[in-house]
Amino acid sequence: MKNYLNILKYFRVSLVRKFILIMGIVLFISTSMWTYLIIQKDSKQFINMIVSSGVNPEEAEKYAHYITLKILSFAVFLFIITSITIFLFVLRFVNRPIKKFILGINFIAKGDYNDGIDIKQDDEIGKLADAFNKMCEKFRIKQVELNRQKDEYQNLFDGVPCTITVQDKDYKLVGYNREFADKFDPKQGDFCFYAYKGRSEKCPNCPVEKTFEDGLAHYSEERGFNRDGSLAYWVVKTSPIKNPKGEIIAAMEMCLDITESKLLEFKLEQSKKKYYAIFNNIPNPVFVLDADTLKIIDFNESVKNVYGYDKNELINKSFLELFKIEEKDKYYETIKRHSLINLSKHIIKDDTQIFVNIKISPSEYPGQKVLLVTTSDETKRIETEHQLIQASKMATLGQMATGIAHELNQPLSVIKTASSFFMKKIKKNEPIKDEILFTMAQEIDNHVDRASKIINHMRQFGRKSEMSMENVQINEVLKRAFEIFNQQLKLREIEVVWELTENIPLIQSDSTMLEQVFVNLLLNARDAIEEKWENKKSGDKKITIATKLENKNAIIEICDTGTGIPEAFLDKIFEPFFTTKKVGKGTGLGLSISYGIIKECGGSIKATSKKDEGSCFIINFPILKLNL
């Protein structure tokens, strides 16, 4: 652009001024010479003519000189007029357009492409002006696009949500974005280490220095302070800036503020420590299992206290290894589908068996779905409960001693009668008919079986056993419990009404312990009726035993026509050692133990009563899914 401007200036001086000057001189010389020659020629002819006509030669010469001056004056005038005409012509059609060209070029040099050159001529200069204006329009379009891109990139540079600086080889700031300016309030020419960290010397591990050394990008994590003095953390990435020759002239450093994530990381670390402290100090064993394979990923310190295993002995092993071999498949699906498993048996390190309740909850572990499994050792409680249950059984057997003796006395009487008959016949040496012998032998056999059945039943009932969940038909358990009381109730003239639903679905329970529950309830019903009969000699002496199916639940009802339970005591009758019987007639453990057994089997029990009208105990068990 400057060269073009100089050419036009040179063109203006050389062409216009020199042209006018040369043309004027040439015109002046040619006119003068032409006039001089004409005057010389004509003056000689004129003088000769005057002299020949008798005029004074001196006068004639003066007159000729006068005419010469006139002609010269006319020539000068003509020269001036011609020069002025040429000057005005050149000024109008050459000088002014060139001035406009120069002015337009000056505007272009300043970056103003809007005005152009206003020359309305049809000659070469006009065409040159049109071409120049088209060139300016293209420049203008290019400049607008360049300005747009410049503004766009500048806005992007300033709007990037991280700090960006450009540093020279002395680590001085030669450029930075708005984010950096707002955070650190730098001054142009500050050292980067001073602007960032207030240091007086370069940082020991400087990524910018490494970039200047090898021309590669480098990464680091830095810590410093914000403008307000708060602690800050950055991720730093550097890259080289090269000139057209490929030489590194500066380095760009980009810093992303990771203060919040770093503080969250610290909080997370503290939270993890707190979590592990809590996790390891939970008094119950807690296992972290893979949700699919049930492999043990982690567990707390209480596992060692209860199970005896160290970390390296259980990690990555299946949780099912803690169960009996024959129960592993059963518990694989149960653990996945249920949130609570009551009274499972676990094998600990010394090969002994413990009873545990298992609570399961889905959770998230880093990168995978897990199950949090908490176990609680119920062995001591179960042992205590079994001791109480056994004591209750013995107390029940003691209360049933009279009835049992009567039950056994009947078969013994038959056997005694038969043996006396045989001995009498033998003494008299009388033969015994085969039919009579067979009948009496059959009676003896039947009554021996009956006595054995009673003894085996009492032995089984009184035996100390662990709870074992199985599929149970409640009608059969009720009938088996009633066999013990059949004779007693007959002797006391207590009527038993059966209202059983046939083919009632199975439930999940322990049949032996459930039988004890029914025995306890029948004992209480018997005692309530007898207590009422002591005070009142009239009224029904009746026990109703019923089963039915309601809303996918098996319902057992044992009702009596005894004294009833005061309403104020209905909420307390299942508490240990609470009894409504007279002193010496009850321990207060029967209903408490029954309540515990039913709860362990997944059922519920409640009582309804009206004073002097009797009581009714209602037991509810969910039926097994295989019945649905």
Give the 3-state secondary structure percentages of the chain, helix then strand then coil, rounded to 5. Answer: 55, 20, 25
Taking the model in full, what pTM does it have?
Answer: 0.42
Nearest to 283 by CA among 381, 408, 376: 376
Q: Which two tokens stand for residue 587?
A: 């321990």
289-345 pLDDT, tens digit per residue, is 998 899 999 999 889 889 999 988 999 999 999 998 888 888 888 888 888 888 788
353-365 and 340-347 strand pairing? antiparallel
Q: State residue 398's pLDDT score.
A: 56
Which value, in Å, is the radius of gyration of the alpha carbons in the chain? 62
**DSSP-derived secondary structure for 146-187:** HHHHHHHHHHHHHHSSSEEEEE-TT-BEEEE-HHHHHHH---
State how far the Cα of 65 lies from the Cα of 53, in Å rounded to an integer. 19
Return the pLDDT at 449.
Answer: 64
The predicted structure's pLDDT at residue 240: 92
The DSSP H or E segment spanning 372 is strand 368-377
Q: Which residues, given as ranges, of the chain have pLDDT below 70?
A: 1-61, 63-64, 67-68, 71, 89-94, 109-125, 157, 159, 227, 382-411, 413-414, 446-447, 449-468, 535-539, 575-590, 625-628
Q: What is the pLDDT of residue 386?
A: 61
Q: What is the pLDDT of residues 369-397, one digit of tens each?
A: 899 999 988 877 766 666 655 555 555 55
The pLDDT, as a whole number, for residue 584 is 44
Do 373 and 319 contact (CB within 8 A), yes or no?
yes
CB count within 10 Å of CB 180 equals: 24
